[in-house]
Every structure is written in structure tokens, then in C-alpha cells.
Amino acid sequence: MTRPENGPITPIYLKIQPQMAWPDDTFFYVMTADGLFVCRNHKFFRSCVPARRWPSELARQDTFLKVAYPKMPRAMIERIVGFFSAVADLHNSEAGVLLAWDEPAAKLHVVVPDQVATVSRNWHGDVFPIGLKYEWPADLPDGWVILGDVHSHVDHWPNPSYIDDLDETHRAGVHIVVGRIRSEPPEFHIEAVVDGQRFVLRPEQIMEDYRCRRDEVPRAWLDKVKIKTYGYYQDEDSGAATTATAHPSQGGNGKSFSIESGGEDQGGEDHGSEVSDVQLANIPEPDQYPDSDAQDARGKAR
């Protein structure tokens, strides 16, 4: 076993091979792939048991994240909000975009993936958003890496849902939720995930000042959104209820349906898990001083 130089009073050894020489110290710690162990060489025994606490000689360290992400230009976030607003008006559904960093040009881009937004329709024809699935773009230009994503919660608050938390746990990057989309300005909630830890960020850390949504929404963006509606079609003769799916061109407004095998998944991955192996652009090594709150401070931040 190896012992770090200039170590604490109580020795701490690193087990870096399966079979290593046992230290001669009377009392010491061993750091292994299974955790920290406290070990003793006593006159009557030799022991190695899981440590209940860390060595008292060690100094404390807080969890932190100091961001250096490129800021989203004001025109970019305003156009994204305009896109979410247009989708909400057309389908009353969620929508999402990806944020890509162009390393050669040192520029941030919006990537709108193919996506299926699910909504529900009640007996009165009212439509409610359920969720969102992305198709991962396979044709990103060379030198582009994904920094994060932005998605809408339509009229709901932008609090990340349980599914958002679950899906984004191991996706490093920035995750922005836009809620109360029909208000001006809408509500933003921003978190970053690094090594499974979530951090609440302030809007000014990630984007320039938002003023007003932009109505000029590219048609190509809207064409990326398809709608799947779960609801009921009432057969006037039999009174039987059948699950129905709205055709994308009909806007999912509950007024016109084509009968399909409702409940079938159209493929793709659930929102939040649609981006795999996400890469981060190179950012400076952070110093010791955090400028964001860790996940356990989320309630306070709201």
C-alpha cells in the first residue's frame, strides 16, 4: 500500500492493487474501492473494518460549482421563448431545444431536435400537457458539443418535475425550465448537473437580460414538434370509449381525431434522458469560492 506524503498524524494508505503489503502501523486508515476502513495491528489481533467517520485531522470541504458557461444572447432566449409560446398556442404542449457549443467558432447555437410532445384530452375537449420526448440529432457538425437543454412547462411553474430530476441526474450540463409561458416575462428555473450533483443557478449567470419574446419563430422549428394525444373518442352508437391520437397537423386541440392504437410509444427517449454521453465545453478550473447553491438549497432559492 502507498501512503500519501505529508499525510495527517494518523496514516492513510491507498490500496491500489488487490494484493499489497500490510502496514506495520498500530492504527491507520485504508482507502479502497469499497470505501474507507479503519485498521489496527494489536498484540492479540489484526483488524480492518469500515470506518464510521472520516479522520478528524482532515479539513472540511463544501460542495460548490463556479460556472463559466457562455451566456445565452438575449435574442436567443427570447426566440426560444417565442418558440415555446407558439407551440403552447398551437398544441398546449411542452417543447424543447438543445444548446450546442461551436468550439471552432466559439459560439452558442440552438438545436431543435425531432420531438414528440404528449398531451391528454378530457371529455370536455380540454387539452393538458403531459411530457416530451426527443430524438437525438445524429448530424451535429464537427466541433459541436451539447452544453444543456431548455424545455417548457407551458402554464405550470418551472419547478423541475420528479422525472426531470431523475433523468438529468447523470447528464452534465445546464438544464433550463421555462414556465408560465403565457405571462410576460415567463418564469425561469435553471440548474446545472455535475457528477450527479445538482446546483441552482441564477438567470444572470447563464443568459443575458430577457426583455420580450420574439414572434418570428422559424417554421422548421415548429415542424420538429409532433403531438401525441391520449384521451377518449366517444362512439355515439355504442358509447364505447376509445383511446385516440391526434394527427400532428390538427394541433391536438381535441376537436378532430384519427383513431389509432393509442398508448403506443412512438420511440425516442423520455425527456431528460434523451441526451446521452453529453460533453461539456472546456471551462476554466474553478477556484474555491462557490457562486451557486447546491441542491439542498433549492427550496430556499425558490
Q: Which residues pair with 117 in a beta bridge?
A: 132, 227
Global confidence as pTM: 0.69
CATH superfamily, domain at 74-301: Cytidine Deaminase, domain 2 (3.40.140.10)
* CB neighbour burial string for 36-67, b if at least 16 within 10 angstroms, e if fewer: ebbbeeeeeeeeeeeeeeebeeeeeeeebbbb
Burial class (CB in 10 A: 0-12, 13-18, 19+), 294: middle
d(CA 280, CA 103): 11
Neighbours of 189 (CB within 10 A): 21
Q: Any idea where the domains of the chain sit in the sequence?
A: 12-50, 74-301
* 246 CB-side CA count, 13 A: 29
Q: Which residue has the cell 422525472?
A: 163
Q: Give ∠ CA 147-152-153 in degrees, rounded to 5.
A: 135
Q: Which residue has the cell 496514516?
A: 11
d(CA 176, CA 158): 9
Question: Which of 82, 17, 35, 71 lies closest to 202, judged by CA?
Answer: 71
Residue 25 has pLDDT above 50, yes or no: yes
> How high is the pLDDT of residue 160?
63
Question: Which of 81, 263, 262 lies closest to 179, judged by CA?
Answer: 81
* 172 CB-side CA count, 13 A: 12
Span 58-73, average pLDDT: 92
> How high is the pLDDT of residue 183?
95
Each residue's pLDDT tens digit, 117-148: 999 988 888 889 999 998 778 889 999 999 99
Each residue's pLDDT tens digit, 210-224: 999 998 899 999 999
> How high is the pLDDT of residue 104?
95
d(CA 233, CA 209): 45
Burial class (CB in 10 A: 0-12, 13-18, 19+), 291: middle
Each residue's pLDDT tens digit, 70-85: 999 999 999 999 999 9
> How high is the pLDDT of residue 123?
86
Each residue's pLDDT tens digit, 91-121: 999 999 999 999 999 999 999 999 999 999 8
Secondary structure (DSSP) of 29-90 = EEEETTEEEEEEE-SS-EEEEE-SS--TTSPP--------PPPBPHHHHHHHHHHHHHHHHH
Rounded to the nearest integer, the mean pLDDT of the chain is: 77
Q: Is 215 helix (H, G, I), strand (E, B) or coil?
A: coil
Q: Give ∠ CA 189-192-193 in degrees, rounded to 5.
A: 135
